Each structure stands twice: as structure tokens, then as C-alpha cells.
Amino acid sequence: MDFFRYDPSTALPLEGGVNAFFVPVKRGDKLAAMLLLLDRKGDAGKREVSNDMMLIVIAGEGRVRSGGEVADLKPGDVAILLGGLQNHIWTIDTQLQAVLMTMPSASAG
């Protein structure tokens, strides 16, 4: 078993983000997920990734844009962000804590 615990003191600045930090969750040498923390007025930056991603909100509130769709985020929300589209996660007045993980290909069986 690999075990990861979110500890803000171990969070790293998220490259291309503002007030954005993460704790990497690796499987072998590959990043499988991240524990994401956006502070107030945090911005993960606009990103396009090749794989589908699942965003699971643990605490706080924020917003997410995937392609042209925008949604408000609150604890318990799960958003599937499609690969090949520009995705953007940000906050305004609150922190956001979430898990962002890659999803297997829809064709994987």
C-alpha cells in the first residue's frame, strides 16, 4: 500500500498557478493524482491535459471551467474534466481543497 496524507507544510507551489499548492500522489514515478489547495483568490491556471481527470472537492468553494462550461464547486462535488479541453480551477473568497486524479481511458477494459 502507498499512503499519502495531506499536510499543508509539505505542499509545493503549483507551477503556473497563483496562490495554488499541491501534494503529489505518485504511483511509481508517475503522478497519479494530487491533493490540491487553492487559497483565497487562488488560480490553478488554464491547462489542457490529454487524459480525462476527476476533481473531488473536499472542503471550501471555487469554480471550474472545462471547455465552455463553468460550474460552482462545493464540498462533495465531483467534476469529470475531459482531456483535450482547456480546464481552469479558481477561487474568489474562500479556500478550496480537492483531489485531482487521472482517469483510465474510456476504452480501457
- The pLDDT of residue 108 is above 80: no
CA distances 14 to 1, 44, 46, 47, 109, Å, are 26, 7, 12, 12, 32
- 66-98: burial string, b at 16+ Cβ within 10 Å, e else: beeeeeebeeebebebeeeeebebbbeeeebbb
Q: Is 49 helix (H, G, I), strand (E, B) or coil?
A: coil
Chain position carrying cell 487559497: 39
The predicted model scores a pTM of 0.89
All structural domains of the chain, each given as residue ranges with its CATH number in brackets, are 13-102 (2.60.120.10)
In tens, the pLDDT along 51-106 reads: 999 999 999 999 999 988 999 999 999 999 999 999 999 999 999 999 999 987 66
